[in-house]
Chains A and B, each alone.
Chain A
Amino acid sequence: MAEKQKTKILLLDDEPIVLKRLKPALEKAGYEVEAFSRSLEASDRIMETEFDIVITDLKMEGLDGMQFLTQVKTRSPATEVIVITGFATMETAKESFKKGVFDFLAKPFKLGEIQEVVAKAENKVLANRSR
C-alpha cells in the first residue's frame, strides 16, 4: 500500500486514562500519536519535532497548559491546538481562542466529538500545507 505521510498528533494530559483511551482511538483512525502525561516532557518533544495537531489539557502540574500551548504556537504557528479541559470557563475558553487554538472541548467528551474536531483540524492543516 502506498504510504502517505500520516498526520502527527501530540497528546498531553496529566491523567493517564485520557491518553489510554484517546491514543488507540486516534491511531485506529489513522493518526500517528505520541502521548505524554508530563508537560515538561511534551515541551521538550515539541522542540525536537513539529506536530500537525496538539491536543492538550489546561490544568496540569509543572508547565501549565496555557503556557504549553503558547510554546507550541510560538515554535510552530501552523500546528493546530485543541484544548481539552475539565475546568471549562468562559475566561479560559476566551483566552485559549485568543492564543489561536483551533477548538476547545470540555471534559468529559465523547470519543466521536474529539474525532470530529481532530478531523476538521486535519483538513485545515492539509489545506495550509498544499497551499
Chain B
Amino acid sequence: MQFNVLFTVFQKILGYNNYALELMAEMGTKLGGSYVFDRQYIHSTCHDMAEIVYKLIYNLNTLAPKKYTRLFNAFDKINKEIEEELAGRLVIPQTDYTMPFSLITGDFTDVVGAKNANLAEVKNVLELTTPEGFAITTRAFQAFMDYNRLDEEVFNMIAAWRKGGLSKDEAGEKIQDLILKGTVPPELQSSISSATDRLYQNAKNGQALLALRSSARSEDSEHSFAGQYLSLLNQPRENILDAYKSVIASTFSGSAMEYRFQKGFAEHEEAMAVACQFMVDAAVSGVLYTLDPRAPDLEVMMISAAWGLGAPVMAGKVKTDLFTVDREAPHSLVSLDIVRKEKKLAILNGGGTDLSPVREDLQTKSCLPDEQIRRIAAAGLRIERHFKKPQDIEWALDRQDRLYILQARPLNIKAQVAQMVCDISAVLKTYPVIFENKGMIAAEGIAAGKVFVVKSEEELNDFPQGAILVTPYTSPRLAKVIKKANAIITDVGSPTGHMATIAREFRVPTIVNTEIATQLLHTGQEITVDARQNVVYAGTVKELCYYEFSEEAFEETYEYRLLRRVLKKIAPLNLLDPSDYNFVPEACKTFHDITRFVHEKAVEALISLEYDNLRNTRTASKKLKFDIPLDLVLIDIGGGIEPSATAGLVEPADVLSVPMSAFLKGLSAPGAWNTDPVSVDFGSFMSSLTKTFSFSVASPRFVGQNLAVLSKEYVNINLRLGYHFNMIVAYISENPNDNYAYFRFLGGVTDIARRSRRAQLLSEILSKNDFRIDVRGDLVVARIKKLGPERMVQKIFLLGMLVGFTRQLDVKMTTDQKIKTSIETFNKLKNGSTEPNRG
C-alpha cells in the first residue's frame, strides 16, 4: 500500500483517538452535577463511544493487516457489558446468589436490598464499623421461588385475597407455609455454605453466631416498611437455611402484603434479600435520629438507648433512656430522660435470645456516657452527610465499647420541611451571596460550615471535622481531609480530576475552578455552599439545608448511577506499560484500554512499516541526529527533509519542514531540555526515567516510540517520554486561515498529584500564550489557529521549549508552590531565548 494511504489511516486513528478521549472526559464531567442529562444522552454517547472504538480497531487492522483482530473480541465483551447495563441488567460480581459486604456498592440496591446496600456503603465508603457478613441476593429469592414453583401459587393466593375469598392473614399464612416447606435449591445451598465458610475463616471470634435480617428490595427507600419483615438473631450456622427460609417467608406476612397493597407496590416488584452477619454481643443498643422528625428546626439529634440487644428498642418493648443532643459538634446534651430499665434482651450461649432482668444498680443508671453519645452523634452526621437525608440509625456498643452501625435508613421529613420552608426562593433572597456561578460543580449537594483555607500541605493536618475546605488547587493530596470536609471550593481544577472523583465518592459537595474562592473566603467564616445552583452564601442558610433534605440526591438518581456504571467500563486505564507482557488485546478491560492499545500499536506499525521499507527512498524513515537524546524517527511525506540528506541520519539543519524546524529549535533552546539533577529521594525513580534517553538501553521497558511525520508545511509528532504522551500537530503556510497547531499531553507515572500540577503548569503557560486550553484531569489539550506564519513559528517554538522543559517536571512537582516557581523559571528561559524567524 502507498505510504500516503497508510498515513491517512494513521491520521484517522489519531483523530478517533482524540475524539474518544474527549468524549470520555465529557461523560465524566456530567457526573459533576453542573449538567442536566437524561437517559437518551447516556445511550447515545455510549453508542458513539462504541462506534469510535470499533473504528479505531478497524483502522489499526488496516494499518497492520489483521494483526490485531483479537481486539474485536475485547471490544465485544466490553460493549456487551455496557449494553447489559443500558438495558437495565446489572452485571454482578462473583455469584448471583451471595455477595460479601465488601463488594456491595449502592448500585446493587436491586440485588441485595436497600438495607444491605446502605450498610455496605457505611462500611466501605464511610469506613464505620458494621458487623461482618454477606448478603443473600434477591436473585437467590427468585431462584428459590422458581425451584419450588411458587410464583403461580403466590399469585393465586394473592388474587384470592384481593377478591375477598381469603383474609390477608389466611393468604399470607398459606404462602409462608409453602415457603417454609420449600427446598433451598442446591446451587443456592452451596453458595450460602461457601460464603459462610469464608465468613468464619476470617472471623476473630469463631464462636460468634449469626443474625439474619430482611433486606427487601423496596425497604429503606422511600418506604420504610419498618418492622414489617422478620429478622432472626443469634442463629447457629447449622440453622442458616431454615432461618433463611423464615426470613424470606416474612415477605408474605399479612401486614406486609397489606402495606404493599396500600403503597401501590405490585407483588412482583418485591423480592427479599437477606443480610447474614455475625451477632454483635451488645452491651448497649439503640436508635439515633439525626434530626427530630417532629421538630426539625430545633437542630437536635435524638438517641434512645437500652441495655443489651436492640430489637426490643425498635419494637418499643422496653423502656429506653432518651438523650437529646446538639447537632453541632461537640454535640452537647440538650436534655436527657433516664428511665428505670428493668429488662434487657441478651444473647444465649448456643443460640437464641432471652429477655432477662437488668442488674439492680444499672437499672436507673444512664446507659450512655457523654463520650459515647458524641461518638454515636458524629457517626450519625457522617452517614447523614453521605446519604444527604436525615437518618434513622440502629447502633450497638459491644462489651469493648466498639461502635457498630447495624442499619441506616432515611428519615422522611418531607412534610415538615414543606411546612417550614414554603417559599425557598423568597428565603434565599434574604441571605447575602458571596459569589455565584463561578467555576464548575464537581460534586453536587448543599452544605454549611466554617471555612478552613488550606494553602500548604502542613495545614491539612489541622483541618477540623465538618469544615469547608477552601484551597487554591485541586490536589489529590487533599484526599485525606475530603472525608472530614462538609464541602470543598477551589480556585482552579476540573470536575474530571482525581480529587473531584474522590469528592463524588464521598459525596462532598464541591465547586472547582471558581478563580476567586481563596480571595473572598477566610478561615473561620461561616458559609453555606449550594453546589446545585452554584452559589456561596454568607452565614448558615438553614432553610436551604432542610430544602435539600427533602430533595432526591443527584447520586440517588438512576441516571447518575447508570452513567457511573457505564463509565467504569469506558474510562479507567489499566494498560500502562507497552512492554509489559500484559499489554495485549485480552487485557483490555475498558474502551480506554483499547484506545490506548490502538494508539501505541499504530505508531509502532507506522514506524516499523517504513523503517523496513528502505527501498522506498522518498518516504523512508530516518533517524534524527540531535544533541538531545531523543530517539526520533522522521518520515517525510513531501518536502520535509533536504533531499540530499538521504542516508541514515538527518541533521536538524536538513529539516525543511517549517513547523518541525521550529519545534526542534524550541526543544534545543538553551536550558529548555531540563537536565537539572533531581533531589535524592526521587533518584531511583529518575534513574529509570532517564533510561528513555540513554544510549545503552538496558531494558526496553522505557523506550519511547518517538515519531514525526512531516512535510514542508506540516508535522505530526508523537512522543512518548517516560510514561507521558505528547502529540503535536501543526500546519504552517502563508495563508493564516489554514494554519493551526494542536498540542495534547497526557499521563506520566508519578502520583496523580504531581501529574495534575504539571497539567496545571502546562495550561497556565499555554493560555498565557494565547492557546485555547482544555484540561480534563491530567489530559491537557491546547489549540491555536489562524495566525500568520511568523507568529505560528513562535508558538511552535514555544511548544518545543515546553516539551523539553516539562518532560520530567512532574517528578519535581512535590508541592503546589512548585507550579508558580516553575512558571517563573520557564518565563525567564523564554525571555532569554531568541525566538526564531521562519525558515
Contact = CB atoms under 8 A, between A and B. Distances in A.
B520 interface: no
B424 A107 contact: no
A107 B426 contact: no
A86 interface: yes
Interface stretch (A39-47, A69-77, A109-117): A109-117
B426 A1 contact: yes
A111 B37 CA distance: 10
B183 to A, nearest CB: 41
A28 B425 contact: yes
A27 interface: yes
Contacts of B437: 112
B533 A28 contact: yes
Given A20-B552, A24-B551, A111-B34, A15 B425 contact: no
A109 B41 contact: no
A17 B425 contact: no
Interface stretch (B486-494, B553-561, B615-623): B553-561
A65 B426 CA distance: 32
Given A21-B554, A28-B424, A30-B425, A110 B532 contact: no
Most chain B CB atoms below 10 A, which of A1, A18, A108: A108
Given A20-B552, A86-B44, A111 B39 contact: no
B39 A29 contact: no
A78 interface: no
B36 A111 contact: yes
A25 B39 CA distance: 20
B810 to A, nearest CB: 31
B201 interface: no
Contacts of B547: 24, 28
B698 to A, nearest CB: 50
A108 B38 contact: yes
A35 interface: no
B756 interface: no
Nearest to B35: A108
Contacts of B41: 86, 107-108
Given A17-B559, A20-B557, A86-B41, A109 B35 contact: yes
A48 B534 CA distance: 35
Interface residue tally of chain A, by bracket?
20 to 34
A86 B532 contact: no
A15 B40 CA distance: 9
B30 A30 contact: no
Contacts of B533: 25, 28-29, 111
Nearest to A108: B37
Most chain A CB atoms below 10 A, which of B38, B428, B532, B547: B38
B31 to A, nearest CB: 12
Interface in A21-73: 21-22, 24-25, 27-31
A108 B560 CA distance: 13
A53 to B, nearest CB: 15
Given A17-B558, A27-B424, A28-B425, A114 B534 contact: no
Nearest to A116: B437
Contact of B38 (A27, A30, A107): A107
A108 B39 CA distance: 10
A44 to B, nearest CB: 23
Nearest to B39: A15
Most chain B CB atoms below 10 A, which of A13, A21, A110, A114: A21
Contacts of B551: 24
Nearest to A25: B533
Given A17-B558, A110-B35, A27 B425 contact: yes
B425 A108 contact: no
Given A29-B425, A108-B30, A18 B532 contact: no
B37 A112 contact: no
Interface in B233-250: none
Interface string A79-109: 0000000100000000000000000000111
Contacts of B532: 24-25, 28, 111
A111 B426 contact: no
Most chain A CB atoms below 10 A, which of B36, B40, B554: B36
Contacts of A21: 36, 554
Nearest to A13: B38
A107 B425 contact: no
A81 to B, nearest CB: 18
Nearest to A109: B36
Nearest to A84: B36
A32 B786 CA distance: 47
A22 B554 CA distance: 12
Contacts of A22: 36
Nearest to A87: B40
Nearest to B535: A28
Given A27-B424, A28-B425, A111-B533, A18 B557 contact: no
Interface in B548-607: 551-552, 554, 557-559
Contact of A108 (B36, B424, B554): B36
A31 B428 CA distance: 13
A7 B778 CA distance: 44
Contact of B36 (A1, A29, A31, A114): A114
Interface in B36-95: 36-41, 44
A107 B559 CA distance: 14
Contacts of A111: 34-36, 532-534
A22 to B, nearest CB: 6
A114 B36 CA distance: 10
Contacts of B428: 28
Given A24-B551, A25-B532, A28-B425, A107 B37 contact: yes
A20 B558 CA distance: 11
Interface string B11-38: 0000000000000000000100011111
Contacts of B424: 27-28
A17 B558 CA distance: 8
B61 to A, nearest CB: 33
B426 A30 contact: yes
B548 to A, nearest CB: 9
Given A29-B533, A86-B44, A112-B437, A18 B38 contact: yes
A109 B557 CA distance: 17
15 contacts: A15-B38, A15-B39, A17-B37, A17-B559, A18-B36, A21-B554, A28-B424, A30-B429, A31-B425, A108-B36, A108-B38, A111-B35, A111-B36, A112-B34, A114-B36
Interface of B: 30, 34-41, 44, 424-426, 428-429, 437, 532-534, 547, 551-552, 554, 557-559
Given A17-B36, A17-B38, A86-B40, 5 more contacts: A15-B38, A18-B38, A30-B429, A111-B35, A112-B34
Kindly list the 8 A-B residue pairs having the minimum CB-CB distance in the complex, ordered from nearest.
A30-B425, A108-B37, A15-B38, A108-B35, A86-B40, A17-B559, A21-B36, A110-B34
